[in-house]
Structure 1
Amino acid sequence: MNAIILNSGMGTRLGELTQNNPKSLVKLNENETIFSRAISILSNFDIEEFIITTGYLNEVLINYCEENFPNINFTFVHNPVYDKTNYIKSLDFIDDFEDDVILLHGDLVFELRTAEKIINSDESCVVVDTTLEIPKDDFKAKIENNHIKYIGVDYFEDDAVSCQPFYKLKPKDWQAWKDNIHVFCNNNKTSVYAENALNEITDKVIIKPLDLKGLLCMEVDNKDDLAKVKEILK
């Protein structure tokens, strides 16, 4: 199993907290960053390689990994046009492989039980939470016949459920999505979410909704999110 963690964004909504650090290196407390928490949790599982996409202040993140996690097998994939593209382009730079994939955004804060549920799934799946209110700006999912039909920030129908970018993907599903990501990038559709490429092929890529029902899994996009997750972690 491999893990892909997306870390190429600039995190401008966190203001001065990301002036000298990538977004994922924002501190949750004195001893823990968003990134270190994710790696510490995921390293409990049988993950052979952590593939880290980088962009903004990539050397800072690389040095942090080498200093704090010397025994973890990291591969860094740099997106040189991180400031002009969305993470769909970062994913296009990743080489193909034939193992199960854990895919998540680098600004996700989650708990061990969340990781256990998704990593132990026998099927391709993505995190949803039917106990939460529908977010205004974050991902929502449309579910039909117990599989994902659409993921986007712009879906507000009555059947929308809160969704977070934390996936487990079987090799054939990851490869199909990756192939369509490549088509998008070849056609210069690089300012959209990678989920736009996924939404075109959900008739053949069967991704199940994994309902967390209140377990912690949230993105830290701004200072309000950061304050909220710090309070939860207390």
Structure 2
Amino acid sequence: MRSKIVLINSVRKMAKRKYTDIEKIKAIYESVKKNGYKKTSEIFDEHISLLERIVMRYQNNIVDNKMKVIIIAAGMGSRLKEMTKYLPKPLVEIEENKSLIEREIETLHKVGLNDIAIVRGYQKDKFTIKNVEYYDNDVYTENNILESLFFAEDAMEDGFICTYADSIFSQEIFQKILDAPYDMCIGVEPDWRKRYAKRDEHPTDEAELVKLEDGKITSISKFCNPDTYDGEFIGVAKFTKKGAEILRRNYHRARESKTCRFEDHQRFHDAVSIRKAYLTDMFQELIDRGYPIHAVKVNHGWVEIDTQQDFDYAKKLIENGEL
């Protein structure tokens, strides 16, 4: 009886152990290939059923991780004033010898996302990060985030994750987005109001809010009654190969059709025109046409950096080991 209780407690302990380090997961995978499940179980002191789940997860990620990541980094970041007068906001140092975008790339690497593309614009020559692919938006003052993303359209074909360069995200957030079994999904923060409690330099009416029904986005907008919406878009989205095809086709339909109600001089959802549109405007277009976009809910673990107040808040979280 005693041995049975010990076994049960041991299994429970294993079940609580979390594997988020991609190198540890890879080591287990390689050991199983070389030594088999039984020997690997002894080496890592893990139950075989758990090892099997880890191996399956790693194999699935080998496919997923062929996806590119497109980091949108073309804007000026003028609200940081002197900090971005001679430097693009993504290159501002957030911790010792590490810029915002370098920290983001480092986090992406931790979940096995290594194929990185950066869309740059403002002071583009300042971007000298190695082992990334660059796309240039030289008319960044004339367009907005949606069109900026499509300067990297060549990187979309096999599926991609897109993310903002002026935010900090935890490893867990990228892993959740990567693991989500949807063709199109976006990160959503349900408990979004807490972050705005002392964020008076960035009011709540600038939040990109979403309304949910059965886990799907039904509406996404800045211009809404926040009391009727269910969370905030955090700036990370995933499109599989199928999802990317849907996105690209519908963008070009809206952008290029002369008979479309969205021409350059007409509104595109919340935007004054499609050239000035945000990602959220394109998401709403897809939703209105019946394409499902799912929410991947996150519990904090991210900070959007728009103002000096935001920058100081993020820096403090990092220094305290909270992000």
- TM-score, normalised on structure 1? 0.88
> How far off is 1:184 after superposition?
4.1
Note the alpha carbon deviations across 1:105-159, whole angstroms, 9 max, x for none. Answer: 1111011111111112222321111122173312111112210122222232433
**3-state SS of paired residue (2:312):** helix
Q: Which AA in structure 2 matches 1:151?
A: I
Q: Distance in 2 between matches of 1:86 and 1:184?
A: 15
Identify the residue that residue 89 of structure 1 maps to in structure 2: 147
Identify the residue that residue 179 of structure 1 maps to in structure 2: 249
Q: Which has the higher contact order (CA 8 A, sep 6+)?
A: 1
Can you give the 5+ residue segments of structure 2 that lack an aligned partner in the other structure? Answer: 1-66, 197-203, 257-262, 265-273
Note the alpha carbon deviations across 1:23-77, whole angstroms, 9 max, x for none. Answer: 111111222211011000101233352121111011101x2x03xxxxx3x2211
Is 195-204 or 220-229 further displaced after alignment?
195-204
Note the alpha carbon deviations across 1:158-208, whole angstroms, 9 max, x for none. Answer: 331122110122222222222333344433220121321221121533221
> How far off is 1:91 after superposition?
2.1
User: Structure 1 residues 173, 131: closer, same or farther in 2, change over 3 A?
Assistant: same
Which of 164, 169, 192 is residue 277 of structure 2 equivalent to? 192
Identify the residue that residue 152 of structure 1 maps to in structure 2: 221
Whether the aligned pair in 2 keeps the contact of 1:181 and 1:194 (CA below 8 Å) is no
Which of 124, 146, 150 is residue 58 of structure 1 equivalent to? 124
1:25 aligns with 2:91: yes
> How far off is 1:16 after superposition?
0.7
Is 32-41 or 93-102 further displaced after alignment?
93-102
Q: Distance in 1 between matches of 2:121 and 2:172?
A: 30
Q: Distance in 2 between matches of 1:183 and 1:17?
A: 39
Which of 284, 288, 302 is residue 217 of structure 1 equivalent to? 302
**3-state SS of paired residue (1:10):** coil
**3-state SS of paired residue (2:227):** coil
**3-state SS of paired residue (1:85):** coil
Identify the residue that residue 111 of structure 1 maps to in structure 2: 170
Is 111-120 or 198-207 further displaced after alignment?
198-207
Identify the residue that residue 9 of structure 1 maps to in structure 2: 75
Whether the aligned pair in 1 keeps the contact of 2:167 and 2:305 (CA below 8 Å) is yes
1:139 aligns with 2:198: no
Q: Distance in 1 between matches of 2:255 and 2:279?
A: 10
1:125 aligns with 2:185: yes
Q: Distance in 2 between matches of 1:217 and 1:205?
A: 27
Q: Distance in 1 between matches of 2:250 and 2:142?
A: 20
Higher share in strand: 1
Cα RMSD after superposing both structures = 1.8
Identify the residue that residue 17 of structure 2 maps to in structure 1: none
Q: Distance in 2 between matches of 1:55 and 1:183?
A: 25
Higher share in helix: 2
1:162 aligns with 2:232: yes
User: Structure 1 residues 221, 184: closer, same or farther in 2, change over 3 A?
Assistant: farther
Q: Distance in 2 between matches of 1:114 and 1:48?
A: 16
1:40 aligns with 2:106: yes
Whether the aligned pair in 1 keeps the contact of 2:111 and 2:171 (CA below 8 Å) is no
User: Structure 1 residues 185, 55: closer, same or farther in 2, change over 3 A?
Assistant: farther
Identify the residue that residue 69 of structure 1 maps to in structure 2: none
Identify the residue that residue 159 of structure 2 maps to in structure 1: 100
Q: Which AA in structure 2 matches 1:222?
A: T
Is 46-55 or 20-29 further displaced after alignment?
46-55
User: Structure 1 residues 16, 184: closer, same or farther in 2, change over 3 A?
Assistant: farther
1:233 aligns with 2:318: yes
Q: Which AA in structure 2 matches 1:176?
A: I
**3-state SS of paired residue (2:113):** coil
